[in-house]
Chain A
Amino acid sequence: MSSAPNAAAPIVRIRDLRKSFGSHLVLGGIDFDVEPSQVVVVIGPSGSGKSTFLRCCNGLEVPEGGRVEICDRTLVDNGRLLPDAELNTLREEVGMVFQSFNLFPHLSALHNVALAPRKLRGLSREQADAEAHALLAKVGLAEKADAMPASLSGGQKQRVAIARALAMKPRVMLFDEPTSALDPELVGEVLQVMKVLAGEGMTMMVVTHEMNFAREVADVVVVMDHGTIIETGAPEQIFTEPTQPRTREFLQAVLNRG
């Protein structure tokens, strides 16, 4: 195996990922690679292990078996997580966006974005604030810089959360059901920001129930069920001619819902 990173090498490499909570098997051996600049959308019924899979990619969950390599480093190997110091620097390169936003409620939108760069990237307050302003402008919230999270709508909160993750200049972005907690009319503004990111070549792994987003933006769609990947393919293939009956059942259920 070559150790020199090059453009063609996968930026995320997952081998035989296994995880259970007590006696409940959540991930039953997952193998998957993500190429740089790829947008991977993970779909599947709830309880299929999608979120756990994503959370294993930045060490929020520790799988008990298998291996995750990300951004040229081994995050976890056979239940052994990277030591804390290295884990922290690796996490700077892997942005995470949560279903429940998890904005820091005691800080303004601007300081939510500027906190980590100031503390971790050693930026001065002025530099960090300037970068945060630019990121808020990018997600369309320039005028909300001084707003506290409690006064923002769900869609605005999630866009601040995306800006906050981008502030560490990550190489990979993980999205864990970023629109599932939003009112339907607010979903579009968040997906729009994600589309722009994808267009800029950001490597993205997205767990979502937004099938239209998957269809339009994904390079690869991964279908999970019962802790395993049952099907992988380009969106047109997954959505028009899925090979697995369980994929078909799932898509039928989801698409008929709207």
Chain B
Amino acid sequence: MALDFSPVWAGWPQLLKGAAVTVEVTAASLLLGCVIGLLIGIGRLDPRKWLIYWFCTAYVAVIRGTPLLVQLFILFFGLPQFNILLPAFVCGMLGMGIYSGAYVSEIVRGAIQSIDRGQMEAARSLGMPSGLAMRSVILPQALVRMIPPLGNEFIALIKNSALVSLLTIDDLMHEGQRIISVSYRSLEVYLAVAAVYFVLTGLTTIALRQVEVRLRAGGMVQ
């Protein structure tokens, strides 16, 4: 049987619209993931603050130890039992943000812990409270080191976002399935969908490399 790509050409605007939704939901999730990750990551720095430490450690364990799809379904199909009805896009963003937050927290923690101990000692020796030292001395240095792994997280999240099609969000995957449902050309359409995902992750990779080159040139990353 010959390949017939005509449904792909005909459905191209639809796929692009879906790709835009994919980028939107992914970017919103990563933003939320960064906020959550920053809080959870900082919460795991000091085991002596045991309540915060254990809450954050449990968060990472549970979120990383369960499938994203199950988490998304709990939000979308589970919460309505308590009359909490969230729009599909919000569920997708929340679910992926919560999920991504667990991974980002490890990036945050790793970057902060990679900053030389002497930096905190110098700041504290000047009389800075630990919060101020964190904000004005440690985090600015750690943020630069977070950018490359955050880029990888963004790429992983783009791919994982295909799952939100199951929450009726009209993302790239969902638009592809819609084209298939009328054309029955699964192979051709899924190949096209894969190609668009590949372009999205590829563009992100290139953009990231630019950022890294610039950071390196500025002497901010070793």
A contacts, CB < 8 Å to B? 58, 60, 84-85, 88-92, 94-96, 98, 100, 102-106, 115-116, 119-120, 148, 150, 161, 164-165, 168
Name the A residues within 8 Å of B123 (CB-CB): 104, 116
Name the B residues within 8 Å of A95 (CB-CB): 125
Shortest Cβ distance from residue A28 to the other chain B in the assembled complex, whole angstroms: 24
Complex Cα distance, B116 from A168, in Å, reads: 23
7 A–B pairs (Cβ distance < 8 Å), ordered by A: A92-B126, A96-B125, A102-B118, A116-B127, A119-B128, A165-B126, A168-B126
Indicate if the CB atoms of B128 and A102 lie closer than 8 Å.
no
Name the B residues within 8 Å of A85 (CB-CB): 129
Give 17 new A-B contacts, CB below 8 A, not counting A92-B126, A102-B116, A102-B118: A60-B121, A88-B124, A88-B127, A88-B128, A90-B127, A91-B125, A96-B125, A104-B119, A104-B122, A105-B141, A106-B140, A115-B126, A115-B136, A119-B128, A119-B132, A168-B126, A168-B127
Complex Cα distance, B207 from A217, in Å, reads: 57
Shortest Cβ distance from residue B125 to the other chain A in the assembled complex, whole angstroms: 4
Indicate if the CB atoms of B126 and A116 lie closer than 8 Å.
yes
Residues of chain B at interface, number, CB under 8 A: 21
Q: Is the interface of B mostly helix, strand, loop or mixed?
A: helix
Determine the residue in chain B with the shortest Cβ distance to A120: B127
* Given A106-B140, A148-B219: A92 touches B119 (CB 8 Å cut-off): no
B70: Cβ under 8 A from any A Cβ? no
Q: Which 6 A-B pairs have the closest CB atoms?
A: A92-B127, A102-B122, A102-B118, A96-B125, A116-B126, A91-B127
B contacts, CB < 8 Å to A? 116, 118-119, 121-130, 132, 136-137, 140-141, 144, 219-220
Determine the residue in chain A with the shortest Cβ distance to B122: A102
Complex Cα distance, B128 from A89, in Å, reads: 9
Determine the residue in chain A with the shortest Cβ distance to B220: A106
Indicate if the CB atoms of B141 and A98 lie closer than 8 Å.
no
Name the B residues within 8 Å of A104 (CB-CB): 119, 122-123, 137, 141
Complex Cα distance, B123 from A102, in Å, reads: 9
Shortest Cβ distance from residue B126 to the other chain A in the assembled complex, whole angstroms: 4
Shortest Cβ distance from residue A97 to the other chain B in the assembled complex, whole angstroms: 9
Complex Cα distance, B123 from A119, in Å, reads: 11
Name the B residues within 8 Å of A84 (CB-CB): 129-130
Name the A residues within 8 Å of B140 (CB-CB): 106
Determine the residue in chain A with the shortest Cβ distance to B218: A148
Shortest Cβ distance from residue B139 to the other chain A in the assembled complex, whole angstroms: 10
Among B122, B126, B140, the one with the most A-chain Cβ atoms within 10 Å of its Cβ is B126
Shortest Cβ distance from residue B140 to the other chain A in the assembled complex, whole angstroms: 5
Indicate if the CB atoms of B119 and A102 lie closer than 8 Å.
yes
Name the B residues within 8 Å of A98 (CB-CB): 118, 121-122
Indicate if the CB atoms of A106 and B141 lie closer than 8 Å.
yes
Determine the residue in chain A with the shortest Cβ distance to B118: A102
Among A92, A116, A120, the one with the most B-chain Cβ atoms within 10 Å of its Cβ is A116
